[in-house]
Amino acid sequence: MTAAADTPTGTDARRRHDTTVRGFASDNYAGVHPEVLAAIALANGGHQVAYGADDYTLHLQDVFRAHFGDRAEAFPVFNGTGANVVSLQALLPRWGAVVAAETAHINVDECGAPEKMAGIKILTVPTPDGKLTAELIDLQARGWGDEHRAQPLAVSITQSTELGTCYTAEEVAEICEHAHERGMLVHMDGSRIANAAATLGLPLRAFTTDAGVDILSFGGTKNGMLLGEAVVVLNPDAVHNILFLRKMSAQLASKMRFISVQFEALLTGDLWLRNAGHANAMARRLESAVRDIDGVEVVRPVQANAVFALLPREVSERLQKNYRFYFWNELTGEVRWMVSFDTSESDIDAFAAAIAEEMHKH
């Protein structure tokens, strides 16, 4: 064998992972859906204008408007944190604050990016199920005009939530009406919005545009894309300077066609819904499989593609040697199992059998 053949470059690169392995830590662990990969290849070749003036990004506006209404405008970005940072900056002045659930991704999992990069304050409230209500919002929606307090001028909700629950369209509408009455705007973190739509059995606009949401972070990576999310402006009257804010936040892709064409592949047909519906079904299958295992307790409603459970810590640690997943609460031992668009029934059955086996040893 030549030295060149030993070097993992160019056409000599070799796959370095076992494609039969499935984890339950995150839907980000999944690969790219074949239809999305095919779309990326379709957009390749030749030259296209950079920074969003390409044919694919221009067409993408029609794709998003078909789902969210004629006033919607989509701004592709690299990732979910970037989408949230850009969205919140577009809603708030530097002295503004956003009310969010204590478990919200913008509060817990973005390393302070909304506060550091956007310069805004996050005002959190505890929630039993990850969902804000009008009453919970009012715990922080106060102090307007007080120069000593960051001004609560926006609300951020997550759909589906970090605890795997979904807002109904009526719940979103109530929050939006309540917020707007107080002069506050509403952002939705929709990193798993497709899973929520599949659960609710509603079109996307029913619990976003029609419910009064002003701006949306639309997720693609967790639902079969290689990379990319989109900031979707639903109420153009509520935002400002988003083109500049996207660039300032290091979220302007030069070869944007390769993000946009992925969204086109997802959203032009029903791939987005098929992927999300399958993931949700696999979560329900896992819930059903473990509920009858003595010593395992499913502790939260399974409404999207996450299952939260309590079981002995030592059992979880043994399982983690073969299946990746995270402890959600280190103090209680609660774990989170995530499934994705490519999780199969046999993957679920094998994992459930491993749980049962380890519990039997316990």
pLDDT at 1 over 60: no
281 HSE (CA, 13 A, CB side): 11
Out of 3.30.930.10, 3.40.50.800, 1.10.150.50, 3.40.640.10, which CATH number does the structure's domain 34-267 have? 3.40.640.10
297-298, strands of its sheet edge to edge: 297-298, 306-310, 334-338, 326-329
- What are the tens digits of pLDDT across the range 136-177? 999 999 999 999 999 999 999 999 999 999 999 999 999 999
Residue type, 21: V
Separation of first and last alpha carbons in the chain:
49
Q: pLDDT category, 221, cuts 50, 70, 90?
A: very high
Least confident of 9-23, 71-85, 131-145, 207-221: 9-23
Superfamily of domain 3-30+271-361: Aspartate Aminotransferase, domain 1 (3.90.1150.10)
- What are the tens digits of pLDDT across the range 17-59? 999 888 999 999 999 999 999 999 999 999 999 999 999 999 9
pLDDT at 3 over 80: no
pLDDT at 9 over 80: no
Q: What are the residue boundaries of the structural domains of the chain, listed by start? A: 3-30+271-361, 34-267
Average pLDDT, the chain: 95
- What are the tens digits of pLDDT across the range 106-128? 999 999 999 999 899 999 999 99
Residue (of 236, 212, 88) closest to 150 by Cα position: 88
pLDDT at 4 over 60: no
pTM of the predicted protein model = 0.95
Instruction: Indicate the angle between helix axes 193-200 and 271-291, nearest 10 degrees.
Output: 80
How confident is the model at residue 240, as a pLDDT? 87
343 HSE (CA, 13 A, CB side): 32
How confident is the model at residue 2, as a pLDDT? 41
